[in-house]
Amino acid sequence: MTIEEQIRNSVNEGLLALYEVKINDDVKLQATTPPHEGDLTIVVFAFTRFSKKSPEVTGTEIGEYLVKHSGIVSGFNVIKGFLNLSISSSVWMKTFLHTYDAIRVGRVPVWIADSPRTVMVEYSSPNTNKPLHLGHIRNILLGYAVSEILISAGHKVVKANLINDRGIHICKSMIAWKLFGNGETPQSSGMKGDHLVGKYYVKFDQQYKDEVGKLIAGGLDEKEAKNTAPIMLEAQSMLRKWEAGDAETIALWKMMNGWVYEGFDISYKRLGVDFDQYYYESETYLLGKNLVKEGLKADTLYQKEDGSVWADLGEEGFEDKVLLRSDGTSVYITQDLGTADLKFQQYDLDKSIYIVGNEQDHHFKVLKAILKKLGKTWYDRIFHLSYGMVNLPSGKMKSREGTVVDADELMDEMFTTAKETTTEAGKISEFSETEANELFTKLGMSALKYYILKVDPQKTMLFNPSESIDFNGNTGTFIQYTYARISSVLRKAGTTDALQLFRTVNVNSEKTIEEKEKALIKMLYDYKRATCDAATNLSPALIAAYAYDLAKSFNQFYHECPIADVADIPRSVFRLQLAESAAAQIKHALALLGIEVPERM
RNA sequence: GGUCCCAUAGCUCAACCGGACAGAGCAUCAGUUUUCUAAACUGAGGGUUCCAGGUUCGAGUCCUGGUGGGAUCACCA
């Protein structure tokens, strides 16, 4: 039973004994805020209606009861309606020893869900016509971290990537390459495949603008010019050929997509993320059509005279939505209906999470409404994890204005900055080149990942390229530094005869503990709450906040308390165990965010 | 225009289910190293939580109305 549960039970008993009431809702418990003395605080306003006494008197009565009967409360004070409880230090010691028992054998105690679920997390989901950018990075890091958090809570997670590998936008880069590429390949140009294809996507846009401009100058109105520009007509013709299975077009498509996948794989590997299941839209885009046909047969959808098929969403408060064009082809949402269904056919999913930007909020509401209409009982298990955009100081990233922050370039820059900063610090002179490069990668990626993941997913965030990303303060690097520091202490203690027994000796739970030691124990204890909150809210930001608080708490402890001191072996044993626990939890928390720790830096 | 989201220190972000004097980091200023890694630690200054009402013992948080910003409402994806 946790400390909180014990307190709650005792309070309930106390209310029964003192005022003869049984309350149904949970007792409000919170950590005592610093200026006040105590560990946990109960807000007693809610109980005054039972006691018929002032908040102060009520608090005092409950406090007295808890000291007498709970077995873990050593003292209390009441300020206004707040009952501040001090928990016996032996209770804190016992929680720590319990934690350390697990850590000693390589397990970090985290929150585990009562019943494990099967969850799909779809993330990344790129188009195959351009390289990944900063927006994708937020998506990918969120998807990976959310998956890892759910896995650590005991759930079975399928990491999925739905690749948008077909459609008019893919044909645009294909036609531009065909017209202007002169057979250029990643090998011949030395360009990463996704960047090469992206180059032709840009080329298409330039050429298209050019042609539209000339047509307008030649007397056409804008709409007409846009519809009749030769390169656009060629792209459309290419899409028709693709859909008809034209061998030459398919070959070109396969070749160029292959380049893109090679490029993406490199980026994914650098980001340290992986997938269990790939879906390709070229293979799933027709599935939705069948659902629509069934819906039409069942009369849950309707057809207009021109042949187009619609969903009536009046009841849901939305406009009607077209699902099949009058020419019988499917639209974007139709494909999504199909893949949503496929996911549930393939896996027995309790939850299907989509990591997709908040610009698609409306799309997902409509998607669920249509699935409901089609009689898919699982429609409610779909969850859109809607995250905010990443903006620049100048505003939105725009590919046409060239303000997009490229993922690979950004990672390069992070590496370089890590290298410069580390070289300046001058602590790694004995590192081999390979070791040094590994370290720069760990530090650079950590700075980037933490910077993005510490922000509440839901919120729009700002990225300032000129200020780049910090390595001091509330950063991934700071947390890694704390880990490396602990490693250093443990390493040295491990080679000292008198101290190395910290790994085998047991600490007496009746030992007195100092303020910073207790603060650290409380932080360590808090990890279960943090992992619980992160898993239930699907928020890596909560893990980031925890990791930072833990690191800060350790640094304060480190500053004030000698850890490895041969003059006081029993004390050092305890502190080394504390340090080892902090290191293990930091490592675990960062791993949930996809961040690796260095042993030295 | 309809719908949805957002607004907290100069800047970037916190604040669990409505709880105490709204917290960190960066930046600014002042300190700490013969001692376990100073990428650290300690301290100072910095706030009408966009505005106006309301609910409540208590509101940054909930409700109503404004202001400002963003997204979305295609036989685009």
Query: Beta A309-311 vs A302-303: how paired, if at all?
Result: antiparallel
The predicted pLDDT at position A224 comes to 86
Is A421's CB less than 7 Å from nucleic acid strand B? yes
- Which has the closest alpha carbon to A6: A27, A32, A31, A23? A27
Is A400's CB less than 7 Å from nucleic acid strand B? no
Nearest-angstrom CA–CA distance, A259 and A176: 15
Nucleotide nearest to A362 (CA to C1'): B72
Instruction: Write down which residues 458-497 in A have CB closer than 7 A to strand B.
Output: 458-462, 464, 470-475, 477-478, 481, 484-485, 487-489, 492
The predicted pLDDT at position A353 comes to 97
Compute the radius of gyration of chain A from its Cα atoms: 30
A366: left (phi over 0), alpha (psi -120 to 50) or beta: alpha
The predicted pLDDT at position A408 comes to 97
Q: What is the ipTM metric for this complex?
A: 0.96
The predicted pLDDT at position A416 comes to 95
Instruction: Write down which residues 103-142 in A have CB closer than 7 A to strand B.
Output: 127
The predicted pLDDT at position A591 comes to 98
* Sign of CA pseudo-dihedral A350, A354, A355, A360: negative
Nearest-angstrom CA–CA distance, A234 and A239: 9
Is A390's CB less than 7 Å from nucleic acid strand B? no
Compute, in degrees rounded to 10, the torsion defined by CA atoms A34, A40, A46, A48: -90
What is the DSSP secondary structure assignment for residue A538, as one 8-state letter?
T
- DSSP string covering A330-398, please? B-HHHHHHHHHHHHHHHS--SEEEEEEEGGGHHHHHHHHHHHHHTT-GGGGGEEEEEEPPEEBTTBS--
Is A438's CB less than 7 Å from nucleic acid strand B? no
Nearest-angstrom CA–CA distance, A389 and A457: 9
Predicted TM-score (pTM) of this structure: 0.96
Nearest-angstrom CA–CA distance, A48 and A28: 14
Which amino acid is present at A265?
D
| Count of alpha carbons within 13 angstroms of residue A90, beta-carbon side | 7
State, as a whole number of angstroms, the distance between the CA of A457 and the C1' of B67.
26
Is A440's CB less than 7 Å from nucleic acid strand B? no
Is A164's CB less than 7 Å from nucleic acid strand B? yes
User: Which class for A413: exposed (0-12), middle (13-18), buried (19 or more C-beta within 10 A)?
Assistant: middle
Per DSSP, what are the bridge partners of residue A330? A324
Is A201's CB less than 7 Å from nucleic acid strand B? no
Is A9's CB less than 7 Å from nucleic acid strand B? no
Which amino acid is present at A290?
N
What is the tens place of the pLDDT at every residue in A331-375?
Answer: 999 999 999 999 999 999 999 999 999 999 999 999 999 999 999
Q: Where are the alpha helices (DSSP H) in A181-331?
A: 186-189, 193-217, 222-228, 230-244, 247-271, 281-284, 287-297
Vertex A380, ends A374 and A385: CA angle to 5°?
Answer: 120
The token duo for A376 is 């898919």
Smallest CA–C1' distance to B70, residue: A460
Q: Which helix (H) or strand (E) holds A494?
A: helix A476-494
What is the tens place of the pLDDT at every residue in A526-568?
Answer: 999 999 999 999 999 999 999 999 999 999 999 999 999 988 9
Structural domains of chain A, ranges and CATH numbers in brackets: 3-87 (3.30.1360.70), 166-274 (no CATH), 407-592 (1.10.730.10)
Nearest-angstrom CA–CA distance, A407 and A133: 4
- Tracing tokens 């949970």 back to the chain, one arrives at A26
The predicted pLDDT at position A34 comes to 81
Nucleotide nearest to A548 (CA to C1'): B24
- DSSP string covering A162-186, please? EEB--SHHHHHHHHHHHHH-TT--H
**Contact call for residues A231 and A211 (beta carbons, < 8 A):** yes
Task: Give all strands of the β-sheet with A382-387 in edge-to-edge order.
Answer: A277-280, A156-163, A118-122, A351-357, A382-387
Instruction: Write down which residues 325-384 in A have CB closer than 7 A to strand B.
Output: 325-327, 331-333, 358-363
What is the tens place of the pLDDT at every residue in A389-413?
Answer: 999 988 888 877 778 999 999 999 9
Q: What stretches in chain A show pLDDT beneath 70?
A: none
